[in-house]
Structure 1
């Protein structure tokens, strides 16, 4: 089991954000963005590099195909944030409160999600490499058709996860408590679980293969 490589984000001295709205294909470099409300704004294709976004509101924010590079997001919150086909590399996300975030088709590399709660995270057909979910709650995350390589769940609640048609390599699920898999039990090849988790999943695994357990 190969361990995930965590991001090492070292931000340079940052300039305060001018408070302006997001712009399509906007270029945001070396900015300290605090308590900004980007609800409903369109930032399709925007690029954030060496930025810190703190306590920002992302309700319905449109950021498909955006790129987040060497960037830290702290305490962001929002429902329906659209990051479809976005690229995240060397990103730290802490204490987020998000719901219905769209990351389908996205590419995540060296991303650390720590703390907070994310409901209905859509990662269908996404590619995750060197991603760590730590001390957070994921409710009904959708990894359908995604490719996960060197992904770790550390002290993380994973509820109702969907791994349908996913491909896993060096995925460490041992730190997921609870570990609840709604679909895709047959796709767990390439993952590691603990003995206790195996016992918890035994009834679902038996049903998956059509095995009857009789007294």
Structure 2
């Protein structure tokens, strides 16, 4: 969009999660294809739990351990995940719509093929995030640290990075539309720099990315 001679980037629409009064979950572990509505999962060890295809609507997961938890094709709708932690959580093919992920500490989480719409990732740290072939629309990464996130083949539309650190991102084959990277405190692209054609960066970031861009273009920079 061009307005008054300036290019305007469409802003991401943030989730508006208004949880009802929640009921504490006391049913132990998760179940495949389980249907969870209006529940709070707090301080639970859900390591290696199998919630394949489960639906979480108007739910909150707070300070739960998700190491090795299996949640492929799960659906999180109008949900809050706060202080969750774990390594190797499987959320492949999952749907996250109107979700807040707050102060998470995750490693190797699998979200390949997932759909994220109106999602806020605020604070925390996520290492080796796998978003290959995922679809992200109206997603905001804010004040978080992303180490070697993999966006290979993903579709990103109206995605913002604000006050966050992005290290060693892989954008190979990704398609970006209205992706705003200007607010990233640190921006490192390891692969797929050509995908940035659908993004907006600052002049300072352009300078920092110059070596990667030069390598991609086959430029030799000599003194």
Question: For 1:45-75, what per-residue CA distance to the aligned partner results, in whole angstroms no more than 9, with x for missing partners?
Answer: 0000000110000000000000000000100
Distance 1:204 1:106 in 2: 29
The equivalent of 1:102 in structure 2 is 110
Q: Residue 185 in 1 paired to residue 193 in 2? A: yes
Distance 2:61 2:29 in 1: 14
Runs (4+) of structure 1 exceeding 3 A deviation are none
SS in structure 2 of the partner of residue 196 of structure 1: helix
Distance 1:111 1:33 in 2: 20
Instruction: Find 1:68's aligned residue among 67, 71, 76.
Output: 76
Distance 2:31 2:222 in 1: 62
Distance 1:93 1:127 in 2: 17
Deviates more, 1:18-27 or 1:119-128: 18-27
Shift, 1:20, TM fit = 1.5
The equivalent of 2:212 in structure 1 is 204
Aligned pairs for 1:56-205 (under 5 A) are 56-205=64-213
Shift, 1:214, TM fit = 2.5
Q: Residue 15 in 1 paired to residue 23 in 2? A: yes
Gaps of 5+ in 2: 1-8
The equivalent of 1:3 in structure 2 is 11
Gaps of 5+ in 1: none
Distance 1:95 1:34 in 2: 15
Distance 2:105 2:27 in 1: 22
TM-score of the two chains, using structure 2 as the length reference: 0.95
Shift, 1:106, TM fit = 0.1
Question: For 1:82-127, what per-residue CA distance to the aligned partner results, in whole angstroms no more than 9, with x for missing partners?
Answer: 0000000000000000000000000000000000000000000000
Aligned residues: 215
Distance 2:212 2:40 in 1: 47
Instruction: Find 1:34's aligned residue among 42, 47, 53.
Output: 42
Distance 1:213 1:86 in 2: 44
